[in-house]
Structure 1
């Protein structure tokens, strides 16, 4: 017994994470990714600018506090010297060459922080301010050892003949750059993670948003395969008009297809059988005149079959929407054939898996399988076996018997219309050629071979 094979699932188009070239998903994701990148870069620059302003403000405030404390503690002497009421070299102004310096200059008198090591700070030109409205001014400069400095200066005009007093406090640029860079490194990591999460959210949103289109594609494939008659009416608002138009088109095509098939079937039944009978009758008489008429009948038969084939092919151009369950048809044929050949007590084995289908009109499948199984029951000794399996995009149906079988020459002759290999058995010799012709109309074939049961193996191939 042929073991039933499960039908392979219909292969769908390969799924890509970002879609193929020209896809809506790819276009949406690229646009969203570009917008996210621009937004994250702008956010990084803005936050970096804010951080720079904040850290610079903290440093400026610290330096301004030092200058104001110097102003309040400065004690000029009558001889022109300067002194402070208390020590102002606390951390970080006590570390030599650290960039944290302060300096007070009035004329030739100078007070410096210990970190300057008796060196002077070069000051930029600054406007003179009155003391009652003085606030330190920002400036950038270079230290005695060439290091970059952040400067805060305050110039106070003296009374009468007193010279002006210049107060300076500085911090190294590293005090600004270091914290900002450290914060920016952490910020970039956070922005990167936020960007990934946002892009993942966009990806999910795009995939969910396009899911109705993918579902519509699968439903159209199911309609084409014969699993559905029409698209479901329950669709998203944006897709519903498209589904309605497709359903209307399917309905109209179905009406046209049914009309064309009816016309082809009527023409086939009206012409094929009388011509076949006339051809056989003329061949049996054997006269010269009858031979000439037989040739004309054969020419008519070929032309009619040619145009019928073209019309039938056009009529079943949408045959992929028609599906026939093979096991059910084989079971119905088995009941009829076992009654016809009740005298032989045939062991008819239906080994077709349930659910296996062929893209073929049910009436045509009955005609093809009917001819093949009829021949098998006619020539078998007592056993007929029908099995089927899925092979890629096709389904292969095997009709086997345990009869005498055929050699290669006889197999070739058996496919010729009207050729009978055994005149002792009833029939006209049209069964197998008709089965072959119908199978070829669906893009299939019928191949004869030797069966494992000892008789003939008719292998029918049809699109699944």
Structure 2
């Protein structure tokens, strides 16, 4: 459909605007010119009236007009300018020589001392009438009505000529405006055409992201498109890596299971080894599935709803305080209630649930959660008053399967899951010393 095209919409709407604007302007100018011509004609007829009045004389108690009038058009038959004088009863007393062959339709009389001008109605004449009181020699007063008629043909021809010239000019202006409009639209839509070409190049594999310089109105869109493209690319790579890791991780337990058949073990020992390897394989598969699903959700980060951090942390803390009731953990949440993150809620529960659980395990009695916004980043800190993590062990703790606490059961998979989730959001985790005396875990999320 034509209205699915931005160019077509703009072209149609601007063309309609130009047509409407020029049409209304032309109509207004035409009316103004017509009014000007008729006003000028009315003034001319008034001048003719005063000329006619100057030619008139009063003789023997009656109004007498000369045989030859000052304006030669009154003397020429069918000249287009005509004059009539009637008495107060409408009886014709005199007409100009030009009106010998003319029988005009009745004209409404004007009041005494006032002009009445009227455009053509049933015939092609402009009319001007005036009522006068004439004082005769014996102080007698007579009422007369003077009528002047002007043929409308010259005026109509003048109006037609002006109208034709006006629309010729407006037609030329419309063509020029449409050409300018087309040039402006082509120039204005160039960024969108360039964006379309770049997207096709990305689709065909010729380039990896949008690299063009775009207007400020498109900057957010191109930035978000680049994020989506990059997230989609990372997601495909992560699926590939996850499958590779899963295949690699299962090699060892499968090899052990295969070797059980060649070993001379009792049923109890074989069952124990079998249970250990099946449990290990289950943990590996669960870990890899969670890793893949969390990264898939991170790829859609732009469409996620912001999650309030303070309420989520409070919920997790209340749950963990019940688990570690024997410690009477004192949890201090300093995160502002207005602070939120555009991250999948399940991922946040996994990240902070794992880290808070570790903090509750390691603390003596107190943990503290705080947040600090810096330029382009949001840093959430989780501190405890435990023994802390020695600096030489911190890198080992961050690696898969690495553990600083060997007193409690576990395989170090929780931190690996946390790291994978954080990587999918381009976030990072670091370990520092806490002012409380224990460890301080900082989780840094990039924010725009």
TM-score by length of 2: 0.49
Q: Which has the higher contact order (CA 8 A, sep 6+)?
A: 1
